[in-house]
């Protein structure tokens, strides 16, 4: 079992839809959870950074962490064609050497 | 600079040649990381630097890979005697510090796309 599992998609939704992206993980030592957005042929861009269980909201984006279930989610409200990208979840152990453990990414397409 | 920069953006080389990839982190960021992104494999951690020091090289795929950082700033990743399986996008990231809450907030460059023929 990989440490971080993420459905690669592709996921196609109409403009304005609510998008739900998810990752599960097996290592209970993970303490920090990130979501990155990666456009084609670009580097990953940090979108959300969370520590504790619960929700964190930033504009149209909400990150949710459930440590008891080892499950994290990213919700995108009122999705736009410009949200079309690959979304990567990443996790990190405080005190580790700092390497992030990534999911393989979910490719999202928002159709106008 | 405003963000992490990497050069070259694309590199095509012949099998057996050496290549050098460069990373310029965000000014003031003491921690620097190299990752590799292959199709279907996701992002694979290679090595990190705290200042100019890389204490753990175990993530490097083989002894053909080496990395250095000078002046606490620019880093180079060198691949000797390149093989076709080295073809990937090599990404560099930096963070304010290593470990702690800032260690998880890594900012990535655009990557170098390496193709070994």
Optimal mutation site among B4, B53, B103, B115, interface A, most CBs of chain A within 10 A: B103
Contact call for B55 and A95, based on CB within 8 A = no
Does residue B31 belong to the interface with chain A, where contact is any CB pair within 8 Å?
yes
Q: What is the pLDDT of residue A68?
A: 92
Task: With cut-offs at 50, 70 and 90, classify the pLDDT of residue A1.
Answer: low
pLDDT in tens, A6-51: 988 899 999 999 999 999 999 988 889 999 999 998 999 999 998 8
Residues of chain B neighbouring A90 (CB-CB closer than 8 A): 43
Distance between terminal CA atoms of chain A?
A: 37
pLDDT greater than 90 at residue A52: no
Any bridge partners for residue A66, and if so which? A71
Q: How many C-beta neighbours within 10 Å does residue A36 have?
A: 25
Residues of chain A neighbouring B104 (CB-CB closer than 8 A): 32, 34, 49, 92, 94, 98, 100
Residue B85 near residue B114 (C-beta atoms within 8 A): no
Q: How many C-beta neighbours within 10 Å does residue A17 have?
A: 15
User: Mean pLDDT of successive 10-residue segments in chain B (117 residues)?
Assistant: 90 97 94 91 90 88 95 95 97 86 84 97
Contact call for B111 and A96, based on CB within 8 A = no
Q: What is the pLDDT of residue A96?
A: 72
Identify the CA nearest to A33 among candidates A69, A67, A9: A67
């Amino acid at each position: 079992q990989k440490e971080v599992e993420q459905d690669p998609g592709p996921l196609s939704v109409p403009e304005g839809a609510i998008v739900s992206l998810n990752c599960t993980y097996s290592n209970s030592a993970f303490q920090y959870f990130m979501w990155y957005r990666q456009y084609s042929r670009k580097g990953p861009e940090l979108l959300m950074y969370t520590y504790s269980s619960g929700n964190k909201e930033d504009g149209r984006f909400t990150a949710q962490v459930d440590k008891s279930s080892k499950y994290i989610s990213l919700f995108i409200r009122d999705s736009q064609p410009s949200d079309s990208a690959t979304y990567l979840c990443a996790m990190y152990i405080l005190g580790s050497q700092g390497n992030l453990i990534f999911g393989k990414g979910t490719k999202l397409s928002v159709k106008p | 600079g405003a963000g992490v920069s990497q050069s070259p953006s694309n590199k095509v080389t012949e099998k057996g040649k050496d290549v050098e990839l460069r990373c310029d982190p965000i000014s003031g960021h003491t921690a620097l990381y190299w990752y590799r992104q292959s199709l279907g494999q996701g992002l694979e951690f290679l090595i990190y630097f705290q200042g100019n020091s890389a204490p753990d090289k175990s993530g490097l795929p083989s002894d053909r890979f080496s990395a250095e950082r000078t002046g606490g700033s620019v880093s180079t990743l060198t691949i000797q005697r390149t093989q076709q399986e080295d073809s990937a996008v090599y990404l560099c990231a930096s963070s304010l510090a290593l470990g702690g809450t800032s260690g998880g907030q890594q900012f990535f460059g655009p990557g170098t796309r390496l193709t070994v023929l």
